[in-house]
A and B are shown apart, each in its own frame.
Chain A
Amino acid sequence: MSPLQKVAAILLCTILLLMVLASIFVPAPYARQFRDIPNAGPSTAHPLGTDALGRDSLSRLLYGTRVSLLLAPGASLLSTIIAALLGSAAGLIGGWFERIVLALTDLSLALPWLFLLLTVRAMLPLDVPPMVSVVIAFLMMGLLGWQSAVRVICAATRGIRDSDFLLLARSTGCQPARLLLRHVAPNLRPLFYVQFWISIPLFILTEANLSILGLGVMEPMPSWGNLLRGFENFSALAANPLRLVPLILLVLVVMCFQLVLPSQEVTQ
């Protein structure tokens, strides 16, 4: 592990620790509105200042990190599993099965997913608690975000389809399911890791986009997505540059994930 990777890993661990211990560090409940001091700058009571409704920005950042960093990897894991199953099966079996899977992938890539997510959100019952609606939103993202990974994994599987070790396994009578799980999957594991890691920031940003449209995590629950909405008010941003912290944190986490990633390949 290079020094840079070590720094990235330490940073990620620190952020995760802060996220887990958020309730200890927060100066005030994340939903409490201090209405006398909206858009306030940093102070002892509110180290990162307050937002437009007077809520403590640090509390919202820590709880928002918890929401985004717990649910985005979950959504990423779900989409990677779907992509791994479909892509490796299509690549290994080939022929009509591969054509059907790739055609379905292309078809779903062509669908306007944003509108689909909006429709699904509108169809949900209204009396769902905020936390459940958040889980459903990330679940939807996970179920709908596997397409590009399928193409990559299918292409990689196709590359090893005629390799010697698979020929040998086939010649010994190995069943397709065993071929897939014992021979193909271990060889594609670095690719699965890559797909998993690169999907996390993607889902965080998707949630951010949905929140900017007002359709992500519901108020008063914070997430990185709805914290980024604070950027719409440029004058408040200029008055308190610490409002950029959620963005910096998002960039930092995405970079750390990318930096830590090569070590996974090396371990294979």
Chain B
Amino acid sequence: MRQAWIFLTLILVLGLPAAVRAETARQSGGELHFCLHGEPKTFNPLLVEEDASETIRYLTGGVLIRLNRQTQALEPGLAVSWKVSQEGRRISFHLRSGLRFSDGTPFTAEDVAYTLKALMDPQLHSPTGDSFRSGEGQVDVQIPSAAAVVVTFPAPVAGLERLFDQVAILSAHSPKKEMAVLGPFYVADYSPGSSVLLHRNPNYWKKDKEGKPLPYLDSIRLDIQRNRDIELLRFRRGEIQLINALDSESFDSLQKEMPAVAHDAGPGLDSEQMWFNQVPSAPLSEYKKNWFRTTEFRKAISMAINRADLCRIVFGGHAHPAVGPVSPANQFWFNSSLPVPAYDASGALRLLAQVGFRLEGGALHDSSGNRVEFTVITNAGNKSREQMATMIQQDLSSIGIKVNLVTLDFPSLIERITRTYDYEACLLGLVNTDLDPNSQMNVWLSSAENHQWNPKESKPATAWEAELDRLMRSQASAISDKKRKADWDKVQQIVAEQQPFIYLVNKDAMSAISSAVVGSSPSVLDPHAFWNAELLRLGGDLALGAQK
């Protein structure tokens, strides 16, 4: 008996430290699994234009300035500090010293210069570089000292420093070219059609508050899985630990089963909207074009749509009525003085009566006696849009308007809204990833292609569109954020008054994070679930859920 006690004590004395060591190791390591929804088209961070490559760029790329997805503030990255001057034409960086790429190549100012030259090279056709093109002429990159870089653009670039969040710095000298990275992870293996394996970058510069090197994770395996249902199934089985974006149905079903893993971060940047075709050359009846060009008609339609019901029924409460082109998630640029559109069918009828429409026998007619009826098109297979359109059908029938719904395959829909203009109204969504108003220049300028209600106008068709043009150009050339905000607030106000787009809802940013992941803090900005990947680790208490 005594021998047994001695034996047990020995086991405890010898075994406990080993167990503690193992637990510590487990918490600071491990392999995180989640899914990409397509094959990454490129590993060159300057050529990224789709989600899968963007995920890899975010996890591997080292940037001079990083946008904090939680606070929406800019934070120093590879640059310790920066200064914008010459009215937004010039930016000077002071770089961190002593950093190395993942393959050991030293990081120098030459790398920054090399990256920026490549970025602005017209031969490369970098989608990231397009955001920096502000005027004719070359971009000048100077290296005044080993730790300083000065970049001068031919014309002012609004929100210049924010754009550097997308620019992953390449090595000018590494034989591994773009595979040598400065971010928390590097690409260790790629099996086409199967997975991408990222390993911890041993030379990553960041450390945690206790001085421990980051990232905590040893590796991240990104399985290529297009099917969202299979992704959800694998999450339920515990085979993957993250789902970056969830729809409301998946969110609700997960929340019922495992409340701790489903996270709704609140309204995201994406919006759903409807607009009427106002193209003068569109093959539509002239009286219908007149309706669509009438501000009161558009405002009445907007008032007669019950957005609260759309949010509650179609999105299960995981959406918010949209106010305008900027979501409340965009803390700085959102015009908070604009009222949330309220459902007011009788107010809509009063507004319509002001411009000659009248309700006769339950049907609305215009001043010439034409029955008000139009067709809304949307893309086939998108259940939530079809449901929204069906609800709008009923809402508008209450003010005597007959709405037909036609779903089209996506290419046919795009053909109609961009080339033939053979449609009356369209319901679509806008995916927004950038906070800055400049990212919406291609929507609000009357000459822009994405000015959907009347694209590529040779000159503004209305006074308010001319005013939008002026304000958009003014904010783009202004340096002071205060001035830009004032201009952009005015744009939002005009859009709310004129309703060229009838904004319907802002969907919530929802994600799923396994209880095994510690350090997560879901954000409304993309990537919602892994924006702080360097701070994530595996080994959380399964009963506690994701640590907030």
Contacts and interface: CB of A to CB of B under 8 A. Distances in A.
B249 interface: yes
A209 B285 CA distance: 34
Contacts of B312: 35
A234 B253 contact: yes
Given A126-B423, A214-B381, A53 B407 contact: no
A126 B377 contact: yes
A214 B407 contact: yes
Interface string B398-412: 000000111111001
A52 interface: yes
5 contacts: A54-B313, A133-B406, A214-B407, A215-B380, A218-B406
A235 B255 CA distance: 11
Contact of B405 (A121, A219, A233): A219
Nearest to A129: B404
A235 B404 contact: no
Interface of B: 249, 252-253, 256, 309, 312-313, 373, 375, 377, 379-383, 386-387, 389-391, 393-394, 404-409, 412, 422-424
A38 B390 contact: no
Interface size class of A (residues with CB under 8 A): 20 to 34
B404 A214 contact: no
Nearest to B313: A38
Q: Is the interface of A mostly helix, strand, loop or mixed?
A: loop
Contacts of B377: 126
Contact of B409 (A35, A122, A220, A234): A122
A130 interface: yes
Nearest to B256: A235
Given A127-B375, A130-B404, A53 B391 contact: yes
Contact of A127 (B383, B390, B394, B404): B404
A240 interface: no
B404 A52 contact: no
A235 B251 CA distance: 11
A119 to B, nearest CB: 8
A219 B390 contact: yes
B261 to A, nearest CB: 16
Contact of A215 (B375, B404, B409, B422): B409
Nearest to A52: B387
From B309, B387, B406, B412, name the one whose CB has the most chain A CB atoms within 10 angstroms: B406
Contact of A213 (B375, B380, B422): B380
Nearest to A54: B313
Contacts of A122: 408-409, 412
Contact of B393 (A133, A213, A219): A219
Given A53-B313, A235-B253, A33 B405 contact: no
A118 interface: yes
Nearest to A115: B409
A232 B386 CA distance: 14
Contact of B387 (A53, A119, A121, A127): A53
A38 B408 CA distance: 26
A129 B423 CA distance: 15
Contacts of B422: 126
A118 B313 contact: no
Contacts of B381: 213-214
Contacts of A133: 406
Contact of A33 (B394, B408, B424): B394
A157 B35 CA distance: 56
B453 to A, nearest CB: 17
Contacts of A32: 394
Contact of A214 (B249, B382, B393, B423): B382
A233 B249 contact: yes
B353 to A, nearest CB: 26
Contacts of B373: 127
Nearest to A232: B383
A28 interface: no
Interface in A172-229: 213-215, 218-220, 229
A31 interface: yes
A33 to B, nearest CB: 5
A33 B314 CA distance: 12
B313 A52 contact: yes
A33 B391 contact: yes
A57 to B, nearest CB: 15
Given A213-B381, A214-B407, A235 B252 contact: yes
Contacts of A35: 309, 312-313, 391
Contacts of A213: 380-381
Contacts of B394: 31-33, 220
Interface string A30-46: 01110100100000000
B375 to A, nearest CB: 5
Interface string A231-247: 01111000000000000
A149 B256 CA distance: 49
